[in-house]
Amino acid sequence: MAGGSNKNWILMVTARSPTNIAVIKYWGKRDETLILPINDSISVTLDPEHLCTTTTVAVSPKFEEDRMWLNKKEISLSGGRFQSCLREIRSRGTDFEDEEKGIFIKKEDWKKLHVHIDSFNNFPTAAGLASSAAGFACLVYSLAKLMNVKEDEGQLSAIARQGSGSACRSLYGGFVKWSMGNDANGSDSIAVQLATEAHWDELVIIIAVVSSRQKETSSTTGMRESVETSPLLHYRSKEVVPKRILQMEEAIRTRDFPSFAKLTCADSNQFHATCLDTSPPIFYMNDTSHRQVFCMEKWNRSEGTPQVAYTFDAGPNAVLIAKNRKVATQLLQRLLFYFPPSADTELDSYLIGDKSILKDAGIGTMEDVEALAPPPEIKDNIPSQKYAGDVSYFICTRPGRGPVVLGDEALALLHPETGLPK
């Protein structure tokens, strides 16, 4: 088997993958094991500079079992989703050699070598920011590079899909469509890139991470219950989404922000409508989410044409997509006006990601936040209500690139000699 007489080597790859936010939503599976959806979906990949998963994968004859660490804690790999991804990648490994290090691996050896996996999110896992999408995309991508898999991103996306449906869309940067496909085995249920992040680089994205006391229904459970009980979901997937997919592809192709925004908002709302139509009903949006929608709708209406699109995943966090940088500074002013930090929060930790937006918005201190004028769309006679503390923090980001290998060994999460977390 692998490596001749030298059994002491460790082969390692580190990669970084983005998360993504759907603008035409995925909700409902037609196959629970293969994770095949009931409709196409479209997403924007978020810049991994601000939100990403970094994963180091390693193989070595020394390793005695497959092991994984997530955010510094060892977790079990026994789940079917991990096993599917590992099996699929291992079966596609090809011959590899590194003469200098004395490593020779034949394609059939990948099934015998144990892997160590260390994964880290640069954002809170529990914050409802699609950490599993970035995570499984990164796992599959890094394993594929490690095992010298020759398949392209589309084929890898079908493997990542079996880890977490939306992970397939994180195999590309920019604007991505997940085609539901027709095959029973899922071979054509893959992601395709509609446009790179450079195609529409004016967009700015601000995420409001909303404080929530409620334990939310997991999206796996939620979508299963919706498929089983919501009459509206089936109508949506068959009759509404196919038209919206075509319209959204066109809006992205032509960088038509008003159409993009209208479709994005309508589809987010319709997804949450089908959650409400589920028995028992699922509520992901809370009063804070509702207020954010209300503010954006009011602003967009007052401008005569949409400035900002909003979309909510399976949780109360708002993802706000501004037409351009200028609009994003106005958006940030509005957000900080309505949702200032609670008294014990520093401004510096209240907006993370691309912090330069603060300067563009003329905000350097908490005094600047307090001095923000009410947005002009508020009528003078209505006292404006503020909701301090209802948002935990904001993240400013933009559309970004797909997965990349990090060549710098210093960035590896596993120790080059022990193969254990650094």
CB of 397 to its own copies, least distance (A): 25
The single-letter code of the amino acid at 348 is D
Does residue 381 belong to the site contacting its own copies (CB under 8 A)? no
Query: Three-state DSSP class for 188?
Result: coil
Residues 382-421 that bind its own copies (CB under 8 A): 385
Q: Cα(59)–Cα(51) distance, rounded to whole angstroms?
A: 27
Q: Are 29 and 78 in contact (CB under 8 A)?
A: no
Interface mask (CB under 8 A) for its own copies, residues 295-314, using x and -? --x---x-------------
CB of 334 to its own copies, least distance (A): 16
Does residue 290 belong to the site contacting its own copies (CB under 8 A)? yes
Report the alpha-carbon angle 355-357-358, nearest 5: 75
The DSSP result for 296-307, as a single string, is: HHHHHHHHSS-S
Q: Are 129 and 45 in contact (CB under 8 A)?
A: no
Options 198-206, 232-240, 331-339, 406-414: segment touching its own copies (CB under 8 A): 232-240
Q: Are 340 and 313 in contact (CB under 8 A)?
A: no
Does residue 366 belong to the site contacting its own copies (CB under 8 A)? no
Q: Cα(11)–Cα(110) distance, rounded to whole angstroms?
A: 12
The only residue of 98, 188, 228, 287 in contact with its own copies, by rule CB under 8 A: 287
Q: Which is nearer to its own copies, 224 or 325 (CB)?
A: 224
Q: Which is nearer to its own copies, 192 or 232 (CB)?
A: 232
Interface mask (CB under 8 A) for its own copies, residues 241-270, using x and -? ---------------------x--xx--xx
Counting residues that bind its own copies (by CB under 8 A) gives: 31
Does residue 24 belong to the site contacting its own copies (CB under 8 A)? no
Find, among 45, 42, 48, the residue nearest to 23 by Cα. 42
CB atoms within 10 A of CB 342: 12
Residue 156: which H helix or E strand, with range?
A: helix 153-160
Sites of contact with its own copies (CB under 8 A): 213-214, 231-232, 235-236, 239-240, 262, 265-266, 269-270, 272-274, 276-281, 283, 286-287, 290, 293-294, 297, 301, 385
